[in-house]
């Protein structure tokens, strides 16, 4: 396996021997394959493959959809890399959000546990998450400085440039290959007046563009929004006004990983002499990591413990918490439901939702807001004031990135399909030929090869070949063991419930020893459905007698007959299809 070469005074260079390109998997082209992130928000993971060398950018999770009951999250499918583990030279992680790091504990062992290259804060967050997975391998993480470092991974040479996002240490990857330079932006925005962060180096990005970029993979998450993303400076000005006017306690909810916002809130709390309590496991963990690594500045005495919270006047208190998306067990929801251990809503409280609503969460967030209003709180959210700046470039900034890098080929990534299409339209407007814009699906191979007709030129193609990308679902300790059949069963039970029919049969006479017992969960309320239940029992007795009066067959045959006939009867009476579970017990 190749050892990395990092070109910086901190790192020693190593000579390595590259595997022969004559192996069956070798190819004279560059392949780019997105295993996720092209048809959803999340599950971001991109493979770059040249001959026997593979690098990976990001390894994230996707949160479950509404029709996935019980699923914790979804991770990329790495079946394509099976048998190629020794070819994986390294993993590049662009920043510390879970949709970019969340799959690491589950996938690293499957791909040979290669070295992870990332910035310092991201490394700290990856290490902390890994502690929760005791059976996962110990990770080999190499910290890189996005401003100076270069790494050699086989035939790939990678350097970086910083981008603005809503978490520090975010960067883009500049991947130099034998066929040309490919730039992957990661999640980004342009903020010319960032707080607690460095602005993107537009001159450096333009210099890279001047060196001829073969292809650009660019973040499409906010491609459907016109204009520019607002600056974090604007957000701080609005929050400052809220802190100044709030008559009582402030409860501010945001994403646990939105560390730039956390620093803003801490700074304002110190300015207005408010004591902070941090609530939410993920929030506490991220604040602890960022503070230890020097990414958060907190004056001694600013953060207090829970037993001190009610010792201060209301106008000197701030609760920084999770739950702005209406998550069931998150802190803000528990407060609104009066289930929190020591915080209850008071009439002078100001609740700030310092995040936008993730698609799919609109209803839960609205119910949460209503509940807070009912209890007398003043609620502030991003539609009322600029209390949140997204972390993703809107159309004007997306266009600027394309202009600065001026790629020959353009590949929109990280978004829903319609967002990729809109982003592709922006690229075409600034002069990228439509034939050079590839809007791919998950798993669809994009290939670049030497152009046989034009010497020294490279031709790109969106092939029709796809690698496996079906969902790998994580449910508790199970990874990938919940497939379509199990998920379909859960969907049926969540929609129409479950109907259990227990049939006791004498093991010798093969006759019923008692009437069938019925259990209903989520289908009907049995105390109010006596007629239906009694009719079901009669039909079950007839089915069993029919089998016994003839030649007794196995229990599986009886169960199948009960399932079919009772299922048809229940649908006729209720127009619902519960999951029917016949249990034939020989006693």
DSSP string, 287-324: HHHHHHTTSS---TTSB--GGGGGGS-GGGEEEEES-T
Which of 446, 479, 512 is at the close of a domain? 479
Same domain, 109 and 41: yes
The CATH number for 446's domain is 3.60.15.10
Same domain, 211 and 149: yes
Catalytic site includes residue 349: no
- On whether residue 14 sits in a domain, the answer given is no
Question: Residue 424: which domain range?
Answer: 30-227+390-479
CA nearest neighbour of 41 among 57, 61, 27, 58: 61
- On whether residue 206 sits in a domain, the answer given is yes
Same domain, 202 and 158: yes
Same domain, 294 and 395: no
Same domain, 437 and 471: yes
- On whether residue 486 sits in a domain, the answer given is no
Crossing angle of the two packed helices 417-429 and 395-405, in degrees rounded to 10: 50
Pairing of strands 472-475, 73-75: antiparallel
Which of 323, 358, 380 is at the close of a domain? 380
Catalytic site includes residue 545: no
- pLDDT at residue 13, rounded to an integer: 36
- On whether residue 488 sits in a domain, the answer given is no
Same domain, 474 and 549: no
- On whether residue 417 sits in a domain, the answer given is yes
Same domain, 280 and 409: no
- pLDDT at residue 14, rounded to an integer: 35
The CATH number for 524's domain is 3.10.20.580
- On whether residue 9 sits in a domain, the answer given is no
The CATH number for 354's domain is 3.40.50.10710
Same domain, 314 and 195: no
Which one of the listed residues 187, 191, 219, 349 is annotated catalytic? 219
Contacts of 471 (CB under 8 A, 6+ apart): 74, 77
DSSP track, 418-450: HHHHHHHHHHHHTT--GGGB--PPTTEEEEEEE
- Provide the number of structural domains found in the chain: 3
- On whether residue 1 sits in a domain, the answer given is no
Distances, alpha carbon 188 to alpha carbons 168, 240, 314, in Å = 11, 25, 38
- Residue pLDDT tens, the chain, 587 long: 444 444 443 433 333 344 333 333 445 699 999 999 999 989 999 999 999 999 999 999 988 766 555 667 889 999 999 999 999 999 999 999 999 999 999 999 999 999 999 999 999 999 999 998 888 899 999 999 999 999 999 999 999 999 999 888 999 999 999 999 999 999 999 988 777 677 888 999 999 999 999 999 999 999 999 999 888 788 888 899 999 999 999 999 998 888 888 999 999 999 999 999 999 999 999 999 999 999 999 999 999 998 898 899 999 999 999 988 888 788 999 999 999 989 999 999 999 988 877 666 788 888 899 999 999 999 988 666 556 678 899 999 999 999 999 999 999 999 999 999 999 999 999 999 999 999 999 999 999 998 767 777 899 999 999 999 988 877 655 565 545 655 555 555 666 688 888 888 877 776 788 888 888 877 877 677 888 888 888 888 888 877 765 555 566 778 888 888 888 888 888 887 888 888 888 77
- pLDDT at residue 570, rounded to an integer: 87
- On whether residue 450 sits in a domain, the answer given is yes
Which of 323, 353, 380 is at the close of a domain? 380
Same domain, 394 and 371: no
Same domain, 220 and 237: no
Report how far residue 182's alpha carbon sits from residue 436's, in angstroms, rounded to the nearest whole number. 14
Number of H helices, E strands in the chain: 14, 26
Q: Helical H runs in 165-280? A: 202-210, 232-245, 259-271
Same domain, 474 and 520: no
Same domain, 65 and 213: yes
Which one of the listed residues 100, 392, 423, 547 is annotated catalytic? 392
Strands of the sheet containing 517-521, edge to edge, are 517-521, 498-505, 579-586
Sign of CA dihedral 472, 32, 391, 157: positive
């Amino acid at each position: 396996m190749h050892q990395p070469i990092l070109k910086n005074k901190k790192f020693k260079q190593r000579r390595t021997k590259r595997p022969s390109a004559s192996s069956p998997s070798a190819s004279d082209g560059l392949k780019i394959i997105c295993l996720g992130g092209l048809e959803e928000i999340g599950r971001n993971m991109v493979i770059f493959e040249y001959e026997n060398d593979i690098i990976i950018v990001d390894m994230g999770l996707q949160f479950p959809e509404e029709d996935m009951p019980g699923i914790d999250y979804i991770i990329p499918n790495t079946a394509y890399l099976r048998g190629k583990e020794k070819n994986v030279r390294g993993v590049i992680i662009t920043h510390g959000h879970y949709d970019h790091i969340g799959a690491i504990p589950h996938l690293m062992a499957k791909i040979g546990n290669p070295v992870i290259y990332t910035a310092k804060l991201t490394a700290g967050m990856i290490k902390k998450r890994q502690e929760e997975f005791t059976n996962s391998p110990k990770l080999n993480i190499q910290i890189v400085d996005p401003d100076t470092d270069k790494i050699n991974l086989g035939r790939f040479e990678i350097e970086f440039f910083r981008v603005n996002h809503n978490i520090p240490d975010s960067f883009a990857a500049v991947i130099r290959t034998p066929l040309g330079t490919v730039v992957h932006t990661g999640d980004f925005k342009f903020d010319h007046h960032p707080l607690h962060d460095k602005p993107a180096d537009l001159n450096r990005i333009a210099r890279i563009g001047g060196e001829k970029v073969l292809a650009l993979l660019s973040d499409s998450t906010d491609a459907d929004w016109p204009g520019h993303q607002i600056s974090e400076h604007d957000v701080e000005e609005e929050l400052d006004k809220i802190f100044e006017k709030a008559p009582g306690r402030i409860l501010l909810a945001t994403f646990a990983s939105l560390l730039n916002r956390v620093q803003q809130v801490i700074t304002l709390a110190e300015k207005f002499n408010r004591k902070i309590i941090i609530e939410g496991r993920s929030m506490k963990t991220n604040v602890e990591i960022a503070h230890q690594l020097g990414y958060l500045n907190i004056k001694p005495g600013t953060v207090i413990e829970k037993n001190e919270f009610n010792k201060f006047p209301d106008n000197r208190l701030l609760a920084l918490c999770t739950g702005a998306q209406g998550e069931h067990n998150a802190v803000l929801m528990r407060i609104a439901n009066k289930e929190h251990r020591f915080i209850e809503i008071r009439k002078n409280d100001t609740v700030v939702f310092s995040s936008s609503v993730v698609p799919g969460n609109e209803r839960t967030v609205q119910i949460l807001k209503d509940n807070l209003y009912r209890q007398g709180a003043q609620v502030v959210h991003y539609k009322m004031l600029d209390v949140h700046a997204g972390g993703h470039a809107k159309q004007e900034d997306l266009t600027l990135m394309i202009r600065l890098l001026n790629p020959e080929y353009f590949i929109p990534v990280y978004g829903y399909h319609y967002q990729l299409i809109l982003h592709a339209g922006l690229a075409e407007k600034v002069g990228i030929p439509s034939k050079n814009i590839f809007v791919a699906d998950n798993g669809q191979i994009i290939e670049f090869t030497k152009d046989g007709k034009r010497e020294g030129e490279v031709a790109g193609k969106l092939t029709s070949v796809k690698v496996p990308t079906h969902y790998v679902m994580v449910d508790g300790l199970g990874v990938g063991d919940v497939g379509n059949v199990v998920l379909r069963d859960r969907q049926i039970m969540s929609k129409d419930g479950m109907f259990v029919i227990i049939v006791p049969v004498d093991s010798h006479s093969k006759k019923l020893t008692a009437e069938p017992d019925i259990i209903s969960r989520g289908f009907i309320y049995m105390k109010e459905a006596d007629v239906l239940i009694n009719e079901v029992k009669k039909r079950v007795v007839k089915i069993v007698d029919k089998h016994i009066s003839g030649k007794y067959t196995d229990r599986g045959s009886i169960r199948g007959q009960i399932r079919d006939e009772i299922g048809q009867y229940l649908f006729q009476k209720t127009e619902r299809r519960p999951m029917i579970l016949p249990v034939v017990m020989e006693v």
